[in-house]
Amino acid sequence: MTAIAGQGGGRQGSAETLAPLLSIRGLTVRYGPITALDGLSLDVGAGQVISIVGPNGAGKSSLLAAIAGTVKPAGGQVTFKGQPTIGQPLEQTVRRGIALVPEGRHVLASLTVLENLRLGATIRRDTAEAAREIEGFFKTFPILGERRNKSAGRLSGGEQQMLVIARALLSKPTLLMLDEPSLGLAPKITDQIYAMLASIREAGVSILVVEQNAARALRVADRTYVLNGGIIRMSGTEAELSGNPDFEAAYFGLAPRGGAQ
Amino acid sequence: MIDPAQILIDAVSVGGLYALTALGIGLIFSVMRLANFAHAELVTVAAYMLFAFSGSPVAVAILVAIAAAVLLALATERIAFRPLRGADSATLLISSFAVSMFLQKLLVFLVGSRPKALDPLPALSRTVSIGSLQVSALKLVTIVVCLTLLAALTAFLKWTRFGLQMRASAENFTMSRLLGVRANAVIAIAFGLSGLLAAVVAVLFAAQSGFVQPRFGVQIVIIAFVATVIGGLGNLFGAAVGGFFVGVVTILLQAFLPAELRPFREAFLFVIVIAILLFRPQGLFPARNLKERV
Ligand SMILES: Nc1ncnc2c1ncn2[C@@H]1O[C@H](COP(=O)(O)OP(=O)(O)OP(=O)(O)O)[C@@H](O)[C@H]1O
Ligand SMILES: [Mg+2]
């Protein structure tokens, strides 16, 4: 898995000519009568950062859930490293190299900070190396180091977010997916988290991030997709989208194809 | 003539068995939200194995009993409970009743409902004197075994990879699986451990009672359920404490109730349980998360 991750990073330069790391075609997710995603297609190339923006109820979390396997799509294909992922057991997701940091963080509150991180490395057999990485993380974030044996549920929201991102990274993912990592956090903490994402990217990990804060989403990503009413309304780079009136229209569902509101 | 030291030993040896049984039930509940009434038949089948192998060396009989209870636990999981994974807890509860009744009736069919006498630990049917105190060797061994198993289980949960996975799954199964915890492995280990605990309880309890019949496990499992509810469903520490608590109350009632009321000991126990639940509906140590999330 590590070797594949390394290759992914190395091929970054010629990503155009290769099959994308993650490829989604015609993905549809329904909850009873509600259609959350309606035939969505997008690609994430190796080493790329892709962001998804959209209002509440746009289908952003449903997209990540369908990729991760916590929701069974009603139709469409998800291909990761050339392999179809839909219908595989949930515990395979992280073994393939996909790590999800879900909406609402989900630290395991009954475990300590250290145990949360150990659990992040639970699929690995190089326990000693994982332990070194955990120590390294504690050096970078001394507040968490001091609380390593305290319940993770007692941490502040920002600390919990740092912890779940670190926990996800300990599985050595090829693709890191984050669902609104800055939700409910102070701007300073959000800056820290986005600085962390920048260094994760440096390490060659591809990132798919869902964000309601459009300015952030544009700045961090190689390409941003606007999702509304379960449909991609628009996509482009920061240069193409920021300040573009169509972008705002798409975001608020005023695009020609009609939106949620 | 009531000696407090004697009462303490009685209470801990009875409470220890309830605690181990409550833990066996609690392990399954914490990972699957299944209140497994069929735990009773794990105990019963292990006791019948002791009876069947009463001609063999004690160690052989005990190993066979453990193997039988572990295999039966794994089989019930695979055949009856795995297809229902994720079903609501009422469905799980009813199916565990069904498994329990099925196994009980099967035992009646196979071996009859008449009690069979057995003495799985003959070497312990003597007393040991500690100072001025005459103590049953069986009770002392029961206490030592229960405390050792509690410590071993705690160490397993606290210090091993699977123990960590099990605690994580107890809190949030979906998140744990996203981190790579294999649901089938964790649940199988929980069932295996519950079978092991059931077999140990069967050995000690059969040695105390001296006979086995198809409802052998039911008597102890009903009380252990009470213990898990008092302790707080889904909380293993609470289950163990609840087990000891019920043991202590039972023995105290036995010692201090007027002789004519003693047959109704259990009724008094349940009154105390209801009183506790009136004040603490979630039990003494409520579990942190009983709902699935993500
Ligand atoms: N488990 C569910 N059951 C029923 N409907 C659901 C479920 N999850 C999501 N939905 C519905 O599906 C649609 C898309 O929801 P989703 O959570 O994917 O949106 P989102 O873009 O992540 O929104 P938010 O920004 O509020 O997190 C919404 O209409 C939502 O109400
Ligand atoms: Mg969402």
A119 vs B179: CB contact, 8 Å cut-off? yes
Task: Report the predicted TM-score, pTM, of the whole model to 2 decimal places.
Answer: 0.89
pLDDT of residue B96: 95
> What is the position in ligand 1's atom list of the atom closest to the CA of A103?
27
String of DSSP letters for B70-119 = HHHHHHHIIIIIGGGTTS-HHHHHHHHHHHHHHHHHHHHHHH-SS-EE--
| Within a domain: B127 | no
Report how far apart, in Å, the C-alpha atoms of A192 and of each of A36, A181, B241 are.
31, 11, 44
| Within a domain: B24 | yes
Residues framing ligand 1 (Cβ under 6 A): A 31, 34, 36, 54, 56-62, 103, 212
For residue A118, list chain B residues with Cβ-Cβ distance below 8 A.
164
How far does the CA of residue A214 sit from the closest CA of chain B (Å)? 24
Look up tokens 């073994």; give the residue: A95
C-alpha B242 to ligand 1 mean position (Å)? 41
| Within a domain: B287 | no
Is residue B1 helix, strand or coil? coil
Pairing of strands A22-31, A75-80: antiparallel
How far does the CA of residue B69 sit from the closest CA of chain A (Å)? 29
Q: Tell me if ipTM is over 0.90.
A: no
Beta bridge partners of residue A42, listed in sequence order: A24
pLDDT surpassing 80 at residue B212: yes
CB A185 within 8 A of CB A193: yes
How far does the CA of residue A93 sit from the closest CA of chain B (Å)? 7
The domain total for chain B is: 1
d(CA B77, CA A88): 22
Which one of the ligands is nearest to A226 CA?
Answer: 1
d(CA B128, CA A39): 77
A110 vs B289: CB contact, 8 Å cut-off? yes
How far does the CA of residue B15 sit from the closest CA of chain A (Å)? 27
pLDDT of residue A248: 82
What is the pLDDT averaged over residues B158-164? 95
| Within a domain: B289 | no
C-alpha B171 to ligand 1 mean position (Å)? 23
Average pLDDT of chain A is 89
What is the pLDDT averaged over residues B28-36? 92
Among the listed ranges A219-233, B11-25, B206-220, B231-245, which one has the minimum average pLDDT value? B231-245
| Domain harbouring B101, CATH code | 1.10.3470
Q: Which of A62, A209, A233, A261 to mutate to test the pocket of ligand 1 (most atoms within 8 A of CB)?
A: A62
| Within a domain: B151 | yes
Is residue A223 helix, strand or coil? strand
String of DSSP letters for B165-224 = HHHHHHH-HHHHHHTT--HHHHHHHHHHHHHHHHHHHHHHHHHHH-EE-TTHHHHHHHHH
Residue A69 falls in which region: left (phi positive, over 0), alpha (psi -120 to 50) or beta: left
d(CA B103, CA B123): 31
pLDDT of residue A258: 42
Instruction: Give B278: exposed, middle or buried? Use CB within 10 Å, 0-12, 13-18, 19+.
Output: exposed
d(CA A92, CA B14): 45
Residue scoring higher pLDDT (A15 or A98) = A98
- The string of pLDDT tens digits covering residues A127-169 is 999 999 999 999 999 999 999 999 999 999 999 999 999 999 9
| Within a domain: B182 | yes
pLDDT surpassing 70 at residue B294: no
A109 vs B176: CB contact, 8 Å cut-off? no
> What is the position in ligand 1's atom list of the atom closest to the CA of A65?
18
Neighbouring residues of B283: CB distance < 8 A, sequence distance ≥ 6: B228, B229, B230, B231, B232, B233, B235, B238, B242, B277
What is the pLDDT averaged over residues B152-159? 95
Confidence band, pLDDT 50/70/90 cuts, at residue A105: confident
- The string of pLDDT tens digits covering residues A189-239 is 999 999 999 999 999 999 999 998 888 899 999 999 999 999 999 999 998
Q: CA-nearest residue of chain B to A114?
A: B164
pLDDT of residue B194: 98
Give domain limits for chain A.
Answer: 15-251
Dig out the tokens for A90 from the structure: 């949930």
Domain range enclosing B159: 4-122+135-279
For residue A94, list chain B residues with Cβ-Cβ distance below 8 A.
178-180
Average pLDDT of chain B is 92
What is the pLDDT averaged over residues A236-247? 87
pLDDT of residue B240: 92
What is the pLDDT averaged over residues B8-30? 94
pLDDT surpassing 90 at residue A2: no
- Best mutation site among A94, A96, A101, A110 for testing chain B: the one with the most B CBs within 10 Å? A110
| Within a domain: B112 | yes
pLDDT of residue A212: 86
Among the listed ranges A49-58, B24-33, B122-131, which one has the minimum average pLDDT value? B122-131
- The string of pLDDT tens digits covering residues A62-89 is 999 999 999 999 999 999 999 999 999 9
Dig out the tokens for A200 from the structure: 């994760």
pLDDT of residue A4: 37
B167 vs A111: CB contact, 8 Å cut-off? yes
C-alpha A211 to ligand 2 mean position (Å)? 9
Q: From the list A70, A115, A122, which residue is nearest B181 (CB)?
A: A122
CA nearest neighbour of B17 among B292, B166, B207: B207
CA atoms within 13 A on the CB side of B82: 15
B294 vs A70: CB contact, 8 Å cut-off? yes
pLDDT surpassing 50 at residue A5: no
d(CA B238, CA B230): 8
Homologous superfamily in CATH for domain A15-251: P-loop containing nucleotide triphosphate hydrolases (3.40.50.300)
- The string of pLDDT tens digits covering residues B49-82 is 999 999 999 999 999 999 999 999 999 999 999 9
| Within a domain: B285 | no
A119 vs B293: CB contact, 8 Å cut-off? no
